[in-house]
Amino acid sequence: MLRFFAPLIAPLVGLLFVCALLWAVFMAPSAPAVHLASEEYHLPPRGIHYSFEGPLGKYDDRQLQRGFQVYKEVCSACHSMRLVAFRDLEEIGFSKPEVKAIAKNWQVETPSINPDTGEPATRKSLPSDFIPPVYANETAARAANNNALPPDMSLLAKAREGGPAYIASLVTGYEDVPPALKKEFPDFTVPPGLHFNPYFANLNIAMPPPLVSDGQVTYSDGTPATKAQMATDVSAFLMWAAEPKLENRHRTGLAVLAYLVIATLLAFGAYRSVWHGKKH
C-alpha cells in the first residue's frame, strides 16, 4: 500500500501548494480601496510661464520688484523672510537709497529695554538687517492664525513641489466646494476658520485668501495689478529669494557645455591629424 502511494506524495504536496497560492491570489479579500476627497479633488499647479524657466532663463528685475511690493504690502503681515537682508534687494535693481527707505518701514528689536514700558526697545531697520520676524515666537504666530503656522517664505518656493507655480495657484485658487465633491463625499466639511482650496494638499487651508481684489497694490511701473499678475509677481520674487544664484547656475552650465563642445572638436581634429594617411 505505502509503496503504491509513496511516489504520489511529492506531487500531491506540490499540488496543494499551487492551490493555496491560486486561492491566495484570486480569492483573498482585496484591501478596501481608500477613497479620499483630497486625492480626487486636489489639483496640480497651473501652468504659469516665468521668465527664469529653461537653460537661458533670466529673472525679470521689474517683476521681482513688483513681487517684493506684493510681499511687503500683503504677505508680510503674516509671513517672515528671515534669510533675506534688505541690502540683498539691491540685486533685483533697487538703488541703495531705495533699500534704505524700504528698511526703515520695519522695526527691529534691540538688546536694550525701553525705560518707559519695559519692553525690548526697537529701532528702524538698516539695510544690513534681515527682514525682521512678524511674531515673537511660534505660539504667538499660531495664536494669531487659527493655530496654523504661516511658514517663513525665504525658501518656500524651493520647499514645495511645483515651486512658484504652486504658490501662485494656491493664492488665487480659493473657491466654493464643488457640488460634485459634496455629492461624492457628503461627509466632507470645511471646518470653521479654514478655507477650501483645491491646490492645497488636504483641500482646507488656514490662510484666508490673501489676494482679494484687482488693484490691491498699486504698481509704480504701470502694470495692471490683477490678482493673477500679483500672484505671478510675488511667486517670482519668492523664487529669487530661494535661489538668487539661478542665473549664475544657468551661465555656468552653458559655459561647461561650450567647453565640452570645443574640447570634443579639438580631440576629433587631433585624432584626424595623428591618423592622417595611416592605414589600419
Residues near ligand HEC (CB under 6 A) are: 70, 74-75, 77-79, 145, 148, 150-151, 156, 160, 167, 170-171, 205-208, 210-211, 234
Of 67 and 127, the one with the shorter C-beta distance to ligand HEC is: 67
Is residue 50 within 8 A of residue 239, CB to CB? The reply is yes
How many CA atoms lie less than 13 Å away from 29 in the CB half-sphere? 3
**Residues ≥6 apart with Cβ < 8 Å to 151:** 79, 159
**Residues ≥6 apart with Cβ < 8 Å to 43:** 169, 173, 198, 199
The least distance separating ligand HEC from the CB of residue 235, rounded to whole angstroms, comes to 7
The least distance separating ligand HEC from the CB of residue 33, rounded to whole angstroms, comes to 27
Please give the grid coordinates belonging to residue 77.
503681515
The least distance separating ligand HEC from the CB of residue 204, rounded to whole angstroms, comes to 7
Of 80 and 127, the one with the shorter C-beta distance to ligand HEC is: 80
Q: Burial code of 216-239, b = ≥16 C-beta within 10 A, e = fewer? A: ebebeeeeebebebbbbbbbbbbb
The least distance separating ligand HEC from the CB of residue 145, rounded to whole angstroms, comes to 4
The least distance separating ligand HEC from the CB of residue 15, rounded to whole angstroms, comes to 56
Of 148 and 155, the one with the shorter C-beta distance to ligand HEC is: 148
Please give the grid coordinates belonging to residue 217.
497694490
The least distance separating ligand HEC from the CB of residue 76, rounded to whole angstroms, comes to 8
| Alpha-carbon distance values, 149 to 82, 128, 225 (Å) | 15, 27, 28
Of 127 and 134, the one with the shorter C-beta distance to ligand HEC is: 134
Virtual CA dihedral for 204, 71, 225, 58, nearest 10 degrees?
A: -110
Of 66 and 79, the one with the shorter C-beta distance to ligand HEC is: 79
Is residue 227 within 8 A of residue 174, CB to CB? The reply is no
Of 151 and 244, the one with the shorter C-beta distance to ligand HEC is: 151
